[in-house]
Structure 1
């Protein structure tokens, strides 16, 4: 929608998706732990926010070489509507259906193909498997001294 932009567009998209979402059946490995089952959403990040202001990985640091993983369990639509504001005010760790961890490497296998986006761009609409890692210090960034 050209009239709406930024965070408002994302919030409306999330509310619209509430009425036709399907759970994601996953097998996931990170930190030598295994997670299997139906999940609402998985967020893997190097930064704390995505989607223009949803704080899904509140402990992320862009320069530590560690991935932050947030996994969201099944949640009712009503409960999701009450939990959504927590993602907007960086309090997602208070949502009982969210589990947060930090890891160096993640392997995901999906029972059914699904889409994956990176920095807001869809990079696959048919993802079945993925292995995600970070290379610490791979990009040099110049910044002013504060």
Structure 2
């Protein structure tokens, strides 16, 4: 498989609409003179197993065609191996690609970066218990509870489900007592949410950790302290520009290891369910090689 590009595909990206650009992307890659194989799993677990087998054979790159969830899956297979990761954004958010300067709405330009771009060495972080990696953001608090609620809903479809879940969760939500350990510093605080960022954004452009750098050997920790719901709603739009960090309720800290503990709270990483806290996050500098423009 030396020299081969292995493209792992999420056929349900953007509700199945993302797959429409797969054939043009494959044609662009092959027109660049590369041998290309396509990997589609029967399930996420099957796709992960197939991707691990492909990476073990030493391809030129593993290319994730999908959104942040598929990038998250691909990271599990390439982190620490030296095999480069290519990203063809075809999901709803594409926040990891955007943080790395990969065109988030132009799959063909992203394909050109796979063919002729450079390798950028960036960090990734491990989650404990277990050995899961993440490359983007861990979310814990109000946002993860919205995800939990939305994942239990069968209607409405698409992003409308998350908007409805947000409204419903806000009605009953109360601040969560967190214990946050950053390296040797322990913080006990009621908070609306806590985000741990290797990159700056999640949720289709919410710059929750706007100054996070994926190659500085550190994780950014954004703590949004308890606040009235009306103030929370007023502050929420500011996250899309990253200006929420000026608010008195917001604190940004940095560290190499972060532990989050909050009762009855599930953590999500790169939009994927991790499980209940407590969880630990530990950055590993230079664990990923990514093809970028």
TM range (shorter): 0.7 to 0.9
Task: Give how far 1:13 is off.
Answer: 4.2
Task: Give how far 1:139 is off.
Answer: 1.1
Match 2:227 to one of 67, 72, 75: 75
Distance in 2 (CA, whole Å) between partners of 1:55 and 1:11 is 18
Query: Aligned runs of 1:91-110 on 2, under 5 Å?
Result: 91-110=243-262
Distance in 2 (CA, whole Å) between partners of 1:49 and 1:128 is 21
Q: Which consecutive aligned stretches of 4+ in structure 1 deviate over 6 angstroms post-superposition?
A: none
1:53 pairs with 2:202? no
Structure 1, gaps ≥5 residues long: none
Structure 2, gaps ≥5 residues long: 1-155
Instruction: Give the TM-score taking structure 2 as reference length.
Output: 0.44
> Number of residues paired by the alignment?
138
Instruction: Give the TM-score taking structure 1 as reference length.
Output: 0.83
Distance in 2 (CA, whole Å) between partners of 1:16 and 1:68 is 29
Q: 1:76 to 1:13 in 2, by over 3 A?
A: same
1:18 pairs with 2:18? no
Residue 81 of structure 1 aligns to a residue whose secondary structure is helix
Q: 1:12 to 1:36 in 2, by over 3 A?
A: same
Task: Give how far 1:32 is off.
Answer: 2.4
Q: Give the corresponding residue for 2:274.
A: 123
Report if the CA contact (8 A) 1:10-1:51 is conserved: no
Task: Give how far 1:108 is off.
Answer: 2.4
Please state which structure has a larger fraction of its residues in strand. Answer: 1
Task: Give how far 1:41 is off.
Answer: 0.6
Q: Give the corresponding residue for 1:40.
A: 192
- Alpha-carbon displacement from aligned partner over 1:77-132 (angstroms, at most 9, x marks no partner): 1101110111012212112111111111112233x2310101111121xx231111
Q: Give the corresponding residue for 1:133.
A: 282
Distance in 2 (CA, whole Å) between partners of 1:82 and 1:98 is 14
Please state which structure has a larger fraction of its residues in helix. Answer: 2
Task: Give how far 1:12 is off.
Answer: 5.3
Task: Give how far 1:58 is off.
Answer: 0.9
Distance in 2 (CA, whole Å) between partners of 1:36 and 1:52 is 30
1:142 pairs with 2:291? yes
